[in-house]
Amino acid sequence: MMIAESTSSAPQPSRALVRALLNALIDRLRAEPIYASRQGDGLPGWHPVAADCHDNADRWVALGAGDEAVRGWLHEPLHGLPHRFVAHSVVRPAAADPIDLVDVTLVASAPALANELQVFVSPPAIDISTDGTPMGIS
């Protein structure tokens, strides 16, 4: 498993923190995966903005149905790597079972995706020491 080096000038998390987050996400994936249905193109009157999941979820919640935006990670294996996690937001409908999530961004219109659920992982809490070293994950 490889962790890519960043060329950004923004402060970057330590390798230990990235490794701790990756391990925590993999543990959660195995212990308690959550599934979200892709409905971005199937909701009446809804027009999601591509690649803008956080704002799409917030816009949906602002419509006032009592739904809740949920932040977390999509699990997307890529090019032979078993794990790739992408920050993502989905919606928990107020009238649904608490584990039922709806993706208001990604579309299901492609025939191959019509009945496919995506794996969503809630973010773990990571305690970090003053020097940036992960101390505990829950």
Is 70 inside a domain boundary? yes
Question: What's the rounded Cα separation, in Å, for the pair 76 and 68?
Answer: 23
Contacts of 35 by beta carbon, 8 Å cutoff, 6+ apart: 101, 117, 118, 119, 120
Is 28 inside a domain boundary? no
pLDDT digits (tens, 9 = 90+) for 45-88: 999 998 999 999 999 999 988 999 999 999 887 888 888 899 99
Q: Residue 38's domain spans which residues? A: 33-137
Question: What's the rounded Cα separation, in Å, for the pair 19 and 17?
Answer: 5
Model confidence, pTM = 0.77
Helix (H, G, I), strand (E, B) or coil at 136: strand
Is 122 inside a domain boundary? yes
pLDDT at 117: 76
pLDDT at 1: 46
Q: Is the pLDDT of residue 8 over 80?
A: no
Number of domains in the chain: 1
Q: Is the pLDDT of residue 6 over 60?
A: no
